[in-house]
Amino acid sequence: MKRAATVMALAMLVLPSVFAAPMGFKDSWMAMGDFSPNWREGLANYAVTARDAVGPSLLYMRSDDETTTRELAEVTYTRLLQRWNLPDAQANVWFIGGIGAVRGNDISGTRAMATPGVQVDYETTRIYVSALARFYRADGLNHDFASARAGFSFYEADYDEVQPWLIVEARRMRGLSADIEITPMLRLVQNRYFVELGVNNSQQLRANFMYIF
């Protein structure tokens, strides 16, 4: 009874909250990958606080006609700018940016590149929507990127069950892709496992994963 009273009293001290998507929880490592013929990205970050994560990232990009390539190695910083934790939903605003070096098959040497961007997302147990805008700028290079995602889960699932989602993403990168890439993907989430598999509108396979250590 005394313990219950203590619990109830301390419940009044509930603190404000923090983080989620492009980074894990405080003191965790998150690994992410996004692979298709024209876009291969691997990155990891460490959540130094509940709102901040840093880590290395490698990105290979290729133009639609397969003639131009870019390779970017950078250190990224992810910051949760704002989160709304609602009874049945969560919404976030993120800053995602990096500084690194880029090289390409049509440019000489490497150039310093900065990649600041903003992501917004909203998720319930059945609906997911997000949008990302990110600059990829270097001397003489502009590969600004934008993507939007929307999807739904087929059913609600328990924590230890697999939850399947249908997610559709549209994305475009300036200077490399004249077309908007559209990819419907099957997303499977269970506990710490997160994978997406799809085929884009150029009939190319695409696979994504996320894992938190």
Partner 1 sequence: MNKIHLILALLAASTTSFAAESVKATVNGMVCAFCAQGIEKRLSKMEATKAVFVDLKNKTVAVEAKPDKTLDPKAITAEINDAGYDVVKLEAVPLSVAEIKAQTKAAK
User: Interface with partner 1 includes 26 (CB under 8 A)?
Assistant: yes
Q: Judge contact between 38 and 177, C-beta under 8 A.
A: yes
Helix (H) or strand (E) holding 74: strand 69-86
Candidates 17-25, 98-106, 108-116, 168-176; binding stretch for partner 1 (CB under 8 A): 17-25
Structural tokens at position 150: 């929307």
**Shortest gap between Cβ of 106 and partner 1 (angstroms)?**
39
- In whole angstroms, what is the distance from residue 83 CA to residue 120 CA? 10
Binds partner 1 by CB under 8 A, chosen from 65, 88, 106, 139: 88
CB environment 144-168: b (16+ within 10 A), e (fewer): ebebebebebeeeeeeeeebebebe
| Contact set for partner 1, span 44-63 (CB under 8 A) | 50
Helix (H) or strand (E) holding 121: strand 117-123
Nearer to partner 1 by Cβ, of 122 and 135: the residue is 122
Candidates 24-32, 33-41, 97-105, 172-180; binding stretch for partner 1 (CB under 8 A): 24-32
| Contact set for partner 1, span 152-191 (CB under 8 A) | 156-161, 163, 189-191
CA torsion 89→21→81→75, rounded to 10°?
180
Query: What residues line the site for partner 1 (CB under 8 A)?
Result: 3-4, 6-8, 10-11, 13-21, 24-26, 28, 50, 80, 83-90, 123-125, 156-161, 163, 189-194, 210, 212
